Amino acid sequence: MDGNGRWAQQRHRPRLVGHRAGARAVKRCVEFCLQRGIEALTLFAFSSENWNRPPEEVGGLMKLFLGALEREVDELHRLGVCLRFIGARDRFEAALQARMQAAEDLTAGNTRLALTIAASYGGRQDIAHAARTLAEDVAAGRLRPEQIDEHRLGARVALADLPAPDLFIRTGGELRISNFLLWQLAYTELWFTDTLWPDIDAAVLERALADYASRERRFGLTSDQVRRPSSGRTS
Ligand code: FPP
């Protein structure tokens, strides 16, 4: 969700005004997913590196996250949204952690939209954590090193219970992944837009979906194999 700061700057307003507008854009995106039958949405709200921003900005963002949870969770629950958080949760203050847990507990049984907020999240940290849990299993004798493969590691990273993401959208004009879901994005289609996050709306999202629909996903196969699944395969 990139571009909040620039959105505010263009209006000669403090960066936090941009983040507040960014929170309104989150609501629009969730509504869009519900309307379009999209089953999973993961938003990168705060990276592991974002803790190094000026303290006023970090503090303002924490207040914004807490306020959003206080205001929005009941409505998300009513709409059938299952809300979860990924990232180093222990870095947040206790009140915010408690709100996150309560939101997860309340919405755990919902199935209409899996909404995940990546907060204090980093893709490398996610993979390192998964590797550590495997190493612990090896050390405890529950697993042999030769049993470690991409499936076992993939089962330990965040979002392992969801299908791999189909589409990655980055707003704000930068052409980078910036440590988001590094493992999970292996075959994800990437889509970039200059639109700043607070300006994202249904029209931009429709453009992203239309572009996605025009692509051929080959997962390492040839175009021919994808179009005629039996061609050239032995099983
Ligand atoms: C990146 O834009 C954005 C963030 C670090 C914060 C994202 C937070 C929100 C959208 C607020 C609400 C979110 C939830 C889940 C309630 P930037 O500040 O780096 O923008 P810039 O590149 O223009 O400076």
**Confidence at residue 235, expressed as pLDDT on a 0 to 100 scale:** 43
- The answer to whether residue 46 scores a pLDDT higher than 50 is yes
- The answer to whether residue 221 scores a pLDDT higher than 70 is yes
Give per-residue pLDDT as tens, 187-207. Answer: 999 999 999 999 999 999 999
Q: How far is the CA of 129 from the centre of ligand 1 (A)?
A: 25
Residues known to be catalytic: 2, 50
- The answer to whether residue 4 scores a pLDDT higher than 70 is yes
Query: Domain spans of the chain?
Result: 4-231
- The answer to whether residue 228 scores a pLDDT higher than 90 is no
Q: CA nearest 100: which of 158, 159, 92? A: 92
CATH, domain range 4-231:
3.40.1180.10
Residue nearest to atom 24 of ligand 1 (CA): 5
What distance in Å separates the CA atoms of residue 82 and residue 108, rounded to the nearest whole number? 6
- The answer to whether residue 233 scores a pLDDT higher than 60 is no
Q: How far is the CA of 216 from the centre of ligand 1 (A)?
A: 31
Q: How far is the CA of 177 from the centre of ligand 1 (A)?
A: 15
Q: How far is the CA of 2 from the centre of ligand 1 (A)?
A: 6
Residue nearest to atom 14 of ligand 1 (CA): 23
Pocket of ligand 1 (CB under 6 A): 1-6, 19, 22-23, 26, 43, 45-46, 50, 61, 64-65, 68, 117, 172, 197
Q: Which of 2, 28, 43, 84 to mutate to test the pocket of ligand 1 (most atoms within 8 A of CB)?
A: 2
Give per-residue pLDDT as tens, 88-97. Answer: 999 999 999 9
**Confidence at residue 231, expressed as pLDDT on a 0 to 100 scale:** 60
Average model confidence (pLDDT) across the chain: 96
Q: Which of 6, 16, 19 to mutate to test the pocket of ligand 1 (most atoms within 8 A of CB)?
A: 19
Three-state secondary structure along 14-77? Answer: CHHHHHHHHHHHHHHHHHHHHHHCCCEEEEEEEEHHHHHCCHHHHHHHHHHHHHHHHHHHHHHH
